[in-house]
Structure 1
Amino acid sequence: MTFRLVPGQSLNENELSELMHVSRTPVHEAILMLKEESLVDVFPQSGSRVSGIDLETLNEGLFLRLQVEPVIISQTAGNLTKEQIVRLKENLEAQETAALQETYLDTFFKIDDEFHRMIYEFAKKARVWRAVRSVCSHYDRVRYLDAIDTKANIQIFVEEHKTIYSSLLSGEIVDFDFPKFYEGHLATYRKHFRQMLEKYPEYFNL
């Protein structure tokens, strides 16, 4: 997900076991789980490797989030409890802190995911979130690669999350083109996608 192991790189279960100081069994099970998320390709009797980024899977992940999340936000807006408001506000504060750290990307994207996950939870759609996550692995990889490659200004994402928070708080999501805003929020990578394809062609399944 974070390109410490790049697409196409071979995975040796014995080496990974030694690196993480665990037996081979949990490593093997983890690789099979990653295969289910299309993050690892497993070839019988010849090993496994980090999968390339599949464009169809990438587009499916973005499509699903764009269809589902604006609806969930519109249904939840103006109906948050005090506790839920506090949790979202604390998450935004954590985002602000992460955006100032040198190792912000790993930390920030985890907090970012938690922000969106909570919205699904508050809308009583936790299982929908899990379903969405199951098809968004390649979308998330491209998002991460874009942030690394362009040295993205994470504060912009924080400000967009504040806009989402304000909409949830007030219920006023009809006062501007929220679907268009949300597409811009989720699909920032599109601005640099051709650049990524040209710079990292070996990372993609074309």
Structure 2
Amino acid sequence: MPIKIVEKREKENNREYAYRLLRHNIMTLQLLPGTTLNEGELTDLLSISRTPIHEAILMLKEESLVDVYPQSGSRVSLIHIDILKEGYFLRSVIEPEIIRQLAGNVPGEKMESLKYNLDRQKEALRAEDKIDSFFKLDDKFHHLIYSAAGKDITWYAVKKVSSHYDRVRYLDAIMNQTDLEGILMEHKDIAHILLLGMTADFDLKHFYDRHLGTYRKHFQEILEEYPGYFHM
């Protein structure tokens, strides 16, 4: 089974570890859509018992990332176009409103965290695992915005719905060499708005639709290149 092993974190139990490892491999397409998940193989590979692996798979099923078939095993879910659209819709509605409310009113320590994240994004552009490193920091950047608004629970709810959207963004980055530097510049624009506020004529909705929708430019090509990854 093609899988990238990540180290177990301190105080992380086996179920949490198995869930995090499998989710990371699914989201980064190390485990491709449609890949069979063999619990016995995973038990040997991770050197943990079968129960936490099974529990982790059921957790991933709740996020529509794994399909579980009674008596016949599990597999990584195909990317559902309808779930992709829902994830994009949810983020495009919620995030601009959060930014609108926060603009010019973010506490200094929160702005420092955003600035530090932006510096790390710039460093990630030179990393060997550029795409993986950048998207982790991209996620953290947006999470920091929700956190600054006191909406961490909303963030986690949004991320569960956005799992298929995120997989397509990663696939687009691999296939089409997404302009990560352009995304970083847009993140800097967002940070500028959060620090200083917005001008009356700034079209936040248009800006955010463009920011979240970079994958759409090549989406038809992705569908034609990898039709077996998608559920229409």
What does residue range 84-95 of structure 1 map to in structure 2 within 5 Å? 84-95=110-121
1:25 lines up with 2:45 in the alignment: no
- Partner SS, residue 42 of structure 1: strand
- Partner SS, residue 67 of structure 2: strand
Distance in 2 between residues matched to 1:108 and 1:174, nearest whole Å: 32
- Could you tell me which of 83, 86, 111 is aligned with 2:137? 111
Identity over the aligned pairs, expressed in percent?
56
TM-score between the two structures when normalised by the length of structure 2? 0.87
Distance in 2 between residues matched to 1:174 and 1:154, nearest whole Å: 28
CA 1:174/1:126 → structure 2, altered by over 3 Å: closer, same or farther? farther
1:70 lines up with 2:107 in the alignment: no
Match of 2:84 in 1: 58
For structure 2, the residue ranges without an aligned partner over 5 or more in a row are 1-26
1:82 lines up with 2:108 in the alignment: yes
Distance in 2 between residues matched to 1:76 and 1:172, nearest whole Å: 10
Match of 2:6 in 1: none
Q: Give 1:74 shift.
A: 0.6
TM-score between the two structures when normalised by the length of structure 1? 0.97
Q: Indicate the structure whose relative CO is greater, using CA pairs within 8 Å and at least 6 residues apart.
A: 1
Q: Give 1:176 shift.
A: 2.1
Are the aligned partners of 1:78 and 1:169 in contact in 2 as well (CA < 8 Å)?
Answer: yes
Could you list the per-position Cα deviations for residues 73-103 of structure 1 after superposition, in whole angstroms to 9, with x for gaps in the alignment?
A: 0100111111111100000001011111120
Match of 1:156 in 2: 182
1:145 lines up with 2:157 in the alignment: no
Are the aligned partners of 1:95 and 1:111 in contact in 2 as well (CA < 8 Å)?
Answer: yes
Match of 2:194 in 1: 168
Q: Which moved more, 1:37-46 or 1:152-161?
A: 152-161
Distance in 2 between residues matched to 1:15 and 1:99, nearest whole Å: 35
- Partner SS, residue 157 of structure 1: helix
Match of 2:216 in 1: 190
Q: Which runs of 4+ in 1 moved over 3 A?
A: none
Q: Give 1:192 shift.
A: 0.5
Alpha-carbon RMSD: 1.0
- Partner SS, residue 94 of structure 1: helix
Aligned residues: 206
- Partner SS, residue 5 of structure 1: coil
Distance in 1 between residues matched to 2:48 and 2:133, nearest whole Å: 25
Structure 2: which amino acid aligns with 1:36? E
Q: Give 1:173 shift.
A: 5.0
- Could you tell me which of 117, 120, 136 is aligned with 2:146? 120
Q: Give 1:26 shift.
A: 1.3
Distance in 2 between residues matched to 1:152 and 1:58, nearest whole Å: 18
